[in-house]
């Protein structure tokens, strides 16, 4: 959903905000709300964000075995030259909320960059919230973040995932059937068609399908 949305309305900044002192789930949510509020007050009133919650692994030498929460937040409505202002707000808010002053605010140059950032920093099992926190909502978009209705983006995302899995399964089946590489490439280049089952004519060699000839009449 984030990648599809970024192609419509690209976020230009990503902020990584950390914690040092122990915080409860409620205080963590309050901190992120205060951070967003101060960014809108001091930097840009129309700024919108989507935040992703992670925890450190607690294995670093200086961690003391403590897993600390942090946020990665994609921001829209902000320009790269405003990164320093956003960083100053992060230090102000999170220093007061959780004693943390080490944060990062960076530019995102392309929609693909936004999707890759999320893929590399989200849903790692080792960085999921501790079980003691109970059910935690890890993705929190602000009300105006998405550039298209969320249900439509969700449906497109589901189709994209299904298409990817289908293509992998199709390629594996054709490789196992010794289908020529040029035929495999041609078939995988075709769009995935939805809407039911269709009957097609195929060309076979030695009982193995090598080509789809078209719709059966």
* Tens digit of each residue's pLDDT (9 = 90 or more) over 121-162: 666 677 888 888 888 888 899 999 999 999 999 999 888 888
Q: What's residue 196's pLDDT?
A: 67
Q: What's residue 66's pLDDT?
A: 87
CA–CA gap between residue 166 and residue 193 (Å, rounded): 11
Percent of the chain's residues with pLDDT above 70: 96
| Closest to 206 in 3D by CA, of 183, 178, 181, 187 | 178
* Tens digit of each residue's pLDDT (9 = 90 or more) over 163-191: 888 888 888 888 888 888 888 888 888 88
- Quick one: 94 and 65 in the same domain? yes
- Quick one: 142 and 158 in the same domain? no
- Quick one: 56 and 159 in the same domain? no
- Quick one: 12 and 108 in the same domain? yes
What one-character DSSP code corresponds to residue 13? E
Q: What's residue 3's pLDDT?
A: 86
CA–CA gap between residue 191 and residue 193 (Å, rounded): 6
- Quick one: 20 and 102 in the same domain? yes
CATH number at residue 86: 3.30.70
Question: Dihedrals φ, ψ of 161, to 5°?
Answer: -65, -45
- Quick one: 48 and 113 in the same domain? yes
Q: Are strands 48-55 and 69-76 parallel, antiparallel or unpaired?
A: antiparallel
* Tens digit of each residue's pLDDT (9 = 90 or more) over 41-75: 999 999 999 999 999 888 888 788 889 999 999 99
- Quick one: 141 and 158 in the same domain? no
- Quick one: 162 and 196 in the same domain? yes
Q: Which of 147, 172, 207 is the last residue of a domain?
A: 147
CA–CA gap between residue 58 and residue 43 (Å, rounded): 34
C-alpha to C-alpha distances, 91 to 39, 48, 142, nearest whole angstrom: 12, 19, 21
Domain hosting residue 103, numbered range:
2-147
- Quick one: 140 and 157 in the same domain? no
- Quick one: 189 and 137 in the same domain? no
Tell me if 209 sits within 8 A of 170, measured CB to CB: no
- The count of structural domains within the chain is 2
- Quick one: 59 and 108 in the same domain? yes
Q: Which of 117, 147, 177 is the last residue of a domain?
A: 147
- Quick one: 205 and 157 in the same domain? yes
CA–CA gap between residue 200 and residue 202 (Å, rounded): 6
Which distant-in-sequence residues (6+ apart) come within 8 Å of 51 by Cβ?
32, 71, 72, 73, 74, 139, 140, 141
Tell me if 147 sits within 8 A of 8, measured CB to CB: yes
C-alpha to C-alpha distances, 153 to 72, 140, 185, 208, nearest whole angstrom: 21, 15, 29, 39
pLDDT higher for 210 or 12? 12
């Amino acid at each position: 959903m984030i990648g599809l949305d970024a192609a419509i309305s690209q976020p230009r900044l990503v902020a990584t905000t950390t914690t040092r002192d122990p915080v409860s789930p409620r205080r963590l949510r309050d901190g992120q709300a205060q951070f967003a509020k101060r960014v809108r007050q001091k930097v840009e009133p129309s700024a919108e964000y989507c935040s992703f919650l992670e925890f450190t692994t607690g294995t670093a030498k200086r961690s003391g075995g403590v897993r600390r929460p942090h946020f990665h937040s994609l921001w829209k409505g902000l320009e790269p030259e405003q990164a320093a202002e956003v960083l100053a707000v992060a230090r102000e808010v999170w220093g007061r909320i959780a004693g943390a002053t080490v944060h990062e605010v960076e530019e995102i140059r392309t929609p693909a960059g936004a999707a890759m950032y999320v893929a590399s920093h989200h849903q790692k099992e080792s960085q999921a919230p501790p079980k003691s926190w109970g059910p935690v909502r890890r993705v929190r978009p602000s009300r105006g973040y998405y550039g298209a209705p969320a249900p439509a983006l969700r449906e497109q995302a589901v189709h994209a995932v299904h298409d990817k899995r289908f293509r992998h399964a199709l390629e594996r089946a054709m490789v196992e059937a010794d289908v020529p590489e040029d035929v495999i490439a041609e078939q995988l280049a075709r769009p995935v068609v939805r809407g039911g089952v269709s009957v097609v004519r195929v060309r076979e060699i030695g009982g193995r399908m090598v080509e789809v000839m078209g719709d059966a009449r």
